[in-house]
Amino acid sequence: MQQFTINLPTLKEIEMALFRKLQEQFAEAMVRILEELDQWTMEKRDRARYRMQERRKVSLSTLFGEITFSRRMYKDRQKGCYVYLLDQVLGFDGENMISPQLEELAIELASKGPSYRASASMIEQFLGYPALSHETIRSRLLSCAGPSEPAPQEKRKARVLFVEVDGLYTHLQRNRRQGMENRIAVVHEGWKREGERTSLLHKRYYLHTGKESFWEGFGDFLIKHYDIDEETWLVVNGDGAEWIGECTSYFHRCVYTLDRFHVARDLRRYLKDLPDRWDAAYQALKAYDPKALLGVLETVGKEDMPEEYWEDWGKFKAFLKRHREHLRDYRTKLREAGIDTSGMRPMGSAESQMQVMAKRTKHGGYSWSVSGVRAMLHTIMARQEGRSVVANPAPKSEQRKLPPVRVREILKKSKQSVTGYVNGMIRLLRTSAQSSPTGRALKGLRG
């Protein structure tokens, strides 16, 4: 076997060598593109407003490695400040010393976890150089994470909005409080089938950070994003916490439902040793029949369960009696209001939505600062909504559309240089394999 491989690198070595070389080639191409566009910006600028001062070098960490290029600084006579027009045209901030794509990748990895250090390590392992430290990733996430998506130009119209509400508890560091509850709402407009899976339609997240009550802040959020009026219905699903139940006093048309996941979990805890009554209670819960459910619970006495459950069992039954009406099917009330409920599904995705955020903020024994956990939650919410966390720093009024032909010409030159390298590597492999029996197979490669 040795005679077949003695003069050939392994597939892993070929792959890594090619990837590193491509990084070098693309880094050179990127520098050439940026400097060409900086030249174009200088030629097309408003000369009456922008006076060129000097060229300065800047270094950026990118997916291809660290690159250094020159860009021109201008005096903005109108605003009386110094600007880099290239930054504004391309929508990045050279002072950050991080390319937007690398920054977005780092923040996304950090939001998925398990830690900032792990994110930095994964980036280094993939790119082949320590592009960002864990502290840099943390500071960029804190800087970029915003409260929510900017108000849309056109608000969405919906007759019914579905709201899943829950609280996420996180531990705090260096704070008189040991922890805090982050109150979160997930708003959607219904459900859609994606193959074998069902997803929420036009999902949006709200994290309460203001001093007003949760529902006052949430109301402002709804007005910002939706075209709602007195005919708009809200269907709110929650675990029975007192602050969640206050929704009906804030909104004109609101149906509050008790989250069946939490109810079923507690029923299972108390009735797991009573299979017949557990099954009867569960079937009544699935059928939205509070009368039948409470009837089953009345047949369970203290003697049917361990003594340590007695006090909690009494409180649980009283809790369900208070929420009797919230155990009914919300679709019944909507149909009575003349709303078509076909396609509407049972509520109860709050727990699964919270798990995405709990996995990053609660697991691993981490403690957070208030600003840190809010920034992380905002980042995860943006990712779940399909939004970019890294905002475009350039004012729209300053951006200019570049001629596509000019950019294509530059990219064509870059493509030629990379293609030349690949052809060269193939020729090198052919030469190194001349004395090997496998050389005959390599002769079939074309440059």
Q: How far is CA 295 from CA 6, 186, 271, 302, in A?
A: 80, 33, 14, 16
pLDDT of 447 reads 34
Of 349, 20, 390, 72, the C-alpha closest to 201 is: 349
pLDDT of 422 reads 57
pLDDT of 238 reads 94
Give CA angle at 351 (349, 353), nearest 5°.
Answer: 70
pLDDT of 113 reads 85
Rounded to whole angstroms, the Cα distance separating 185 from 156 reads: 18
Of 206, 276, 210, the C-alpha closest to 236 is: 206
CB 354 within 8 A of CB 184: yes
Locate 82 and state its tokens. 């110094």
Q: How far is CA 27 from CA 20, 61, 125, 135, 424, in A?
A: 11, 10, 18, 25, 19
How is the chain split into domains, by residue range?
Answer: 9-145+390-419, 156-368
pLDDT of 258 reads 95
pLDDT of 394 reads 46
> What are the average pLDDT values for consecutive 10-residue runs of the chain, which has 447 residues?
62 86 87 88 90 93 91 93 90 87 91 90 89 90 72 83 94 82 94 86 93 94 91 94 94 93 93 93 95 94 86 93 95 95 88 84 82 91 83 47 51 60 57 45 37
pLDDT of 245 reads 93
CB 293 within 8 A of CB 383: no
pLDDT of 219 reads 94
Specify burial of residue 118 (Cβ count, 10 A radius: 0-12, 13-18, 19+): middle
pLDDT of 436 reads 44
Neighbour order of strands in the sheet with 50-62: 50-62, 65-76, 81-83
pLDDT of 444 reads 39
